[in-house]
């Protein structure tokens, strides 16, 4: 699975959009981009995933560049409960080993 | 739906003592995973079960770690004897094939 690069930490004002970047310059054509988040003392929680088109669900939007070498997770109106570590993961789907390779993620702090 | 249930939530033991963690996956999920998460790092897979069969235990330290999934439902992960370096959060996850991948809240182990 391709390696990803994320900033170590970010701050965002409550009510504003949080834009979390991820670089995956070695991504292969059959690899999807997944985003998970982990709130303190909880397990990772699925947010969204996509292949090449932009995706939106009730939690967030995922913007993938045309060359697929980077992506941005957007939380449109950040709340204090969005404070968490956000993991960007690229992997083939379906995945033979069906495991996720987590990096160190981005620690997002939403400020009142 | 109860989600993936793990117990205990916290455990403190002295080194060289044994310890066991329990996981109840989501009903109907045939695949079960144990991950270990060290402080400040992302989770890393230890073992994956398909029903009652361990199909990937390549990252499980077999000298002191063992796991079982009798009847293909609940699972236990055991460490005997525990070492200081085993202090971590142990996460259980389950899925139905490639779908519904869900993590539990984890067991935080402290070895003193």
Q: Cβ–Cβ of A94/B98 closer than 8 Å?
A: yes
| Residue A67: partners with Cβ closer than 8 Å, 6 or more residues away | none
Percent of chain B with pLDDT over 90: 92
Number of Cβ within a 10 Å radius of residue A4: 23
CA-based R_g, chain B, Å: 13
> pLDDT at position A94, please?
84
- pLDDT tens profile B88-105: 999 999 999 888 899 999
Q: Does B40 touch chain A (CB under 8 A)?
A: yes
Q: Which residue from B minimizes the CA distance to A99?
A: B45
- Contacts of the segment B7-12: beta carbons below 8 A, 24+ positions apart: B7/B107, B8/B107, B9/B105, B9/B106, B9/B107, B9/B108, B10/B107, B10/B108, B10/B110, B11/B107, B11/B108, B11/B109, B11/B110, B12/B109, B12/B110, B12/B111, B12/B112
At A6-31, the pLDDT tens digits run 999 999 999 999 999 999 999 999 99
Tell me the average pLDDT across B80-95.
97
- Mutation pick from B29, B41, B103 vs chain A, by most beta carbons of A within 10 Å, is B103
Which chain A residue lies closest to B41 (C-alpha atoms)?
A104
Contact across the interface for A43 and B104, Cβ inside 8 Å: yes
CA of A82, closest CA in chain B: separation in Å?
17
Cβ-based neighbour number of residue B19 at 10 Å: 19
Contact status of B91 with chain A (Cβ, < 8 Å): yes
């Amino acid at each position: 699975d391709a390696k990803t690069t994320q900033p170590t930490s970010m701050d965002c004002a409550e009510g504003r959009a949080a834009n979390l970047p991820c670089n995956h310059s070695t991504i292969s054509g059959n690899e999807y981009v997944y985003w998970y988040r982990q709130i303190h003392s909880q397990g990772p929680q699925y947010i969204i995933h996509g292949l090449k088109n932009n995706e939106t669900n009730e939690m967030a939007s995922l913007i993938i560049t045309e060359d697929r070498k980077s992506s941005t997770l957007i939380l449109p109106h950040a709340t204090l409960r969005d404070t968490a570590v956000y993991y960007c993961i690229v992997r083939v789907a379906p995945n033979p080993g069906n495991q996720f390779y987590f990096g160190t993620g981005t620690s997002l702090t939403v400020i009142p | 739906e109860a989600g993936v249930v793990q117990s205990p939530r916290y455990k403190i033991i002295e080194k060289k003592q044994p310890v066991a963690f329990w996981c109840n996956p989501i009903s109907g999920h045939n695949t079960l995973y144990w991950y270990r998460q060290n402080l400040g790092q992302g989770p890393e897979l230890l073992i994956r079960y398909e029903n009652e069969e361990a199909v990937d235990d390549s990252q499980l330290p077999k000298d002191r770690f063992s796991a079982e999934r009798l009847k293909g439902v609940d699972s236990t992960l055991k460490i005997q004897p525990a070492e200081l370096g085993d202090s971590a959060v142990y996460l259980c996850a389950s899925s139905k094939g490639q779908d519904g991948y869900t993590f539990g809240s984890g067991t935080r182990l402290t070895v003193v």
